[in-house]
């Protein structure tokens, strides 16, 4: 089968790899029809993770079931399913508590937790930027879609990661109706966090970024854009709230946060949120931070390369804020968010800027990695069909 394979920093090629297949009685095999490129893939693409050359990328996957293992009883051949990027067993201590983002049995390294398709430090699983995908524990992991699945793939595929992840940021930040919420980052995840806050009835949602094309989309969904080329988000928010600050903040950038000129500073956005959010406010951090960053020393410094960041912890403590962090537990939200999509209440496919064939993955990575104007979210169709 064809797959988008990571070859080393800034090199992806589409090549023939062994077909994915059923390896365990609980597996299902999915013909991938829609698979996204994510900002998380870019950390790997740039060589800023331990992701091994030769592996297939792709953790935001939707497709049609073509085969099921002998112990699969719910999922049927022919159904459309969307797969949470987290791979989970359903029976470990963490999964029992709903923490499928930190499953213990799907992660082979005993000192780690959590697994995902085509992802650094998240187990050996291949990604779905390929014609076929093996899905472990298919009955537990696959979310089945209704009759409108084939036509509405651009909305439903966002349930694999960014819609639940954006929603999770607002849950950790405890966004409630009427709240004033600051979102750092207008990438696909930041846009989904803003969209989720608006769906929850937030009174005002600001989205800060230096990419004007992405800020325009934030405005289209009803958020207030803050262009960091021109304004400091902390000042904008304080000015608008009598100096009190926002009720909550969502960090949707991660450790490669940078100023508009491109100078990286991993602690920049978290410290801005600590400053901009009010006393006792809540902050949800879904942007990725890592204990080791192979390119971090050159880009930022020796300490940042070890994930040691100068956070304004004294101010955060003094203000009595809470901060939630980590990979999103997609399964906690994906069924409810699917039903919002099915019921016509949410259309997360608005983030899609490009629909391409799998063969176009190498150039898609280049354009998206440069955050070129208009390249907001790339969707690949390995089956060659555009819904």
Which residues are at the interface with ligand NAD (CB under 6 A)?
38-40, 42-43, 161-162, 165, 184-190, 208-211, 214, 228, 252-254, 257-258, 268-269, 286-288, 327-328, 371
Closer Cβ to ligand NAD, 46 or 357, answer by number: 46
Q: Shortest Cβ distance from residue 16 to ligand NAD (Å)?
A: 28
Q: Shortest Cβ distance from residue 74 to ligand NAD (Å)?
A: 25
Instruction: State the binding partner of 89 from ligand NAD, Zn ion, none, CB within 5 to 8 A by kind.
Output: Zn ion
Q: Residue 101 carries which DSSP code?
A: G
Does position 82 interact with Zn ion (CB under 5 A)? The reply is no
Closest CA to 40 of 13, 59, 12: 59
**Is residue 377 within 8 Å of 363, Cβ to Cβ?**
no
Q: Shortest Cβ distance from residue 261 to Zn ion (Å)?
A: 27
**On the CB side of 375, how many CA atoms lie within 13 Å of its CA?**
17
Q: Shortest Cβ distance from residue 183 to ligand NAD (Å)?
A: 9
Closer Cβ to Zn ion, 106 or 224, answer by number: 106
Measured CA to CA, the distance from residue 163 to residue 157 in angstroms comes to 9
What kind and span of H or E run contains 4?
strand 2-8
**Is residue 136 within 8 Å of 125, Cβ to Cβ?**
yes
Q: Shortest Cβ distance from residue 60 to ligand NAD (Å)?
A: 8
Measured CA to CA, the distance from residue 167 to residue 192 in angstroms comes to 7
Does position 103 interact with Zn ion (CB under 5 A)? The reply is yes
Measured CA to CA, the distance from residue 311 to residue 354 in angstroms comes to 36
**Is residue 123 within 8 Å of 106, Cβ to Cβ?**
yes
Pick the piece of the chain touching Zn ion (CB under 5 A) from 43-51, 62-70, 90-98, 263-271: 90-98
Q: Shortest Cβ distance from residue 236 to ligand NAD (Å)?
A: 12
Instruction: State the binding partner of 187 from Zn ion, ligand NAD, none, CB within 5 to 8 A by kind.
Output: ligand NAD
Instruction: Report how far apart, in Å, the C-alpha atoms of 252 and of each of 108, 283, 335 are.
Output: 28, 11, 23
Does position 92 interact with Zn ion (CB under 5 A)? The reply is yes
Instruction: State the binding partner of 329 from Zn ion, ligand NAD, none, CB within 5 to 8 A by kind.
Output: none
Measured CA to CA, the distance from residue 226 to residue 212 in angstroms comes to 9
Q: Shortest Cβ distance from residue 287 to Zn ion (Å)?
A: 12
Measured CA to CA, the distance from residue 83 to residue 35 in angstroms comes to 10
Binding mask 147-186 for Zn ion (x = CB under 5 A): --------------x-------------------------
Closer Cβ to ligand NAD, 92 or 330, answer by number: 330
Secondary structure (DSSP) of 103-163: -SSS--STT----BTT-TTS-S---SSBSEEEESSHHHHPEE--TTTTTTHHHHGGGGTHH
Closer Cβ to Zn ion, 89 or 340, answer by number: 89
Q: Shortest Cβ distance from residue 187 to ligand NAD (Å)?
A: 2
Q: Shortest Cβ distance from residue 168 to ligand NAD (Å)?
A: 7
**Is residue 346 within 8 Å of 199, Cβ to Cβ?**
yes
**Count of positions on this chain that bind Zn ion (CB under 5 A):** 9
Torsion 53-377-160-14 (CA) sign: negative
Measured CA to CA, the distance from residue 132 to residue 102 in angstroms comes to 25
Closest CA to 254 of 244, 268, 235, 273: 268
Does position 127 interact with Zn ion (CB under 5 A)? The reply is no
Cα-based angle 108, 114, 120 (whole degrees, multiple of 5): 80
Pick the piece of the chain touching Zn ion (CB under 5 A) from 40-48, 146-154, 275-283, 371-379: 40-48
Does position 89 interact with Zn ion (CB under 5 A)? The reply is yes
Instruction: State the binding partner of 245 from Zn ion, ligand NAD, none, CB within 5 to 8 A by kind.
Output: none
Closer Cβ to ligand NAD, 41 or 79, answer by number: 41
Give the footprint of Zn ion on this chain (CB under 5 A): 38, 40, 60, 88-89, 92, 95, 103, 161
């Amino acid at each position: 089968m064809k797959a988008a394979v990571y070859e080393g920093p800034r090199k992806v090629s589409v090549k023939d790899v062994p077909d994915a297949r059923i390896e365990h009685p609980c597996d299902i095999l999915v013909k991938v029809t829609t698979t996204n490129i994510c900002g998380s893939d870019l950390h790997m693409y740039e060589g800023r993770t331990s992701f091994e050359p030769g592996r297939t990328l792709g953790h935001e996957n939707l497709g049609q079931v073509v085969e099921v293992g002998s112990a699969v009883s719910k999922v049927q051949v022919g159904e459309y399913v969307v797969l949470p990027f987290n791979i989970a067993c359903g029976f470990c201590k963490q999964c029992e508590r709903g923490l499928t983002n930190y499953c213990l049995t799907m992660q082979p390294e005993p000192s780690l937790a959590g697994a995902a398709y085509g992802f650094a430090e998240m187990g050996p699983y291949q990604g779905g930027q390929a014609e076929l995908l093996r899905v472990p524990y298919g009955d537990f992991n696959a979310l089945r879609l209704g009759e409108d699945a084939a036509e509405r793939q651009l909305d439903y595929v966002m349930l694999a990661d960014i819609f639940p992840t954006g929603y999770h940021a607002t849950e950790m930040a405890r966004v409630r109706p009427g709240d004033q919420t600051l979102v750092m980052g207008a990438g696909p995840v930041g846009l989904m966090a803003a969209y989720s806050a608006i769906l929850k009835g937030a009174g005002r949602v600001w989205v800060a970024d230096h990419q004007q094309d992405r800020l325009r989309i934030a405005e289209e969904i009803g958020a207030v854009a803050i262009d960091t080329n021109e304004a400091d988000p902390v000042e904008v928010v304080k000015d608008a709230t009598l100096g009190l600050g926002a009720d909550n903040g969502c960090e949707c950038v991660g450790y490669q946060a940078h100023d508009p000129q491109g100078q990286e500073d991993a602690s920049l956005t978290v410290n801005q949120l600590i400053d901009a959010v009010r006393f006792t406010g809540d902050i949800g951090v879904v942007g990725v931070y890592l204990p080791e960053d192979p390119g971090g020393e050159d880009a930022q410094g020796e300490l940042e390369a070890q994930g040691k960041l100068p956070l304004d912890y004294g101010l955060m403590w003094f203000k009595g804020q809470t901060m939630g962090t980590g990979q999103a537990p997609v399964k906690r939200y994906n069924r409810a968010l699917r039903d919002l999509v099915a019921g016509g209440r949410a259309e997360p496919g608005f983030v899609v800027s490009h629909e391409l064939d799998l063969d176009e993955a190498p150039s898609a990575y280049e354009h998206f990695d440069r955050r070129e104007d208009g390249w907001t979210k790339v969707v690949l169709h390995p089956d060659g069909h555009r819904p």
